[in-house]
């Protein structure tokens, strides 16, 4: 059981590390994103803002829901949504879809943490 606990802890740590770096991966790309979508840098900054606000406001709800429905299912759903939201971020045809993808990413990270 001791080895199983360390493996679980390691997987949990890696997962949370990747979730935490999501915001820091997007932030340095904002100048390039603003050029690609022909928007101002301030408008591109909304990608970070909507992610953070969605995460902050939905995390308490997902914490409550995980107590009621089980953590494993919410973490699994969150990981799937995280993958889908990052694929949508990479393939977003417009800035609106980019914002939607960042909102979904905020929800996914909140459900995981």
C-alpha to C-alpha distance for 78 and 105, rounded to whole angstroms: 9
Domain residue extents for the chain: 2-112
Decide if 109 contacts 78 (C-beta within 8 A).
yes
pLDDT: which is higher, 5 or 101: 101
- For CA atoms 50, 51, 52, 57, the dihedral sign is positive
Tens of pLDDT, residues 14-50: 877 877 777 778 888 899 999 999 999 999 999 999 9
DSSP per-residue letters across 21-71: HHHHHHGGGHHHHHHHTT--HHHHTHHHHHHHHHHHHHHHHHHHHHHHH-H
Per-residue model confidence as pLDDT tens digits over 54-104: 999 999 999 999 999 988 899 899 999 999 999 999 999 999 999 999 999
Output the pTM of the full model. 0.86
């Amino acid at each position: 059981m001791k080895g199983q606990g360390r493996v679980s802890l390691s997987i949990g740590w890696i997962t949370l590390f990747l979730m935490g770096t999501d915001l820091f991966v997007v932030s340095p790309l904002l100048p390039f994103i603003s050029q690609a979508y022909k928007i101002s840098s301030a408008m591109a900054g909304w990608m970070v803002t909507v992610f953070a606000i969605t995460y902050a406001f939905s995390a308490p709800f997902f914490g409550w829901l995980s107590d009621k429905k089980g953590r494993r299912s919410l973490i699994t759903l969150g990981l799937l949504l995280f993958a889908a939201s990052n694929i949508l971020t990479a393939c977003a045809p417009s800035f609106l879809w980019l914002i939607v993808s960042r909102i979904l990413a905020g929800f996914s990270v909140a459900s995981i943490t």
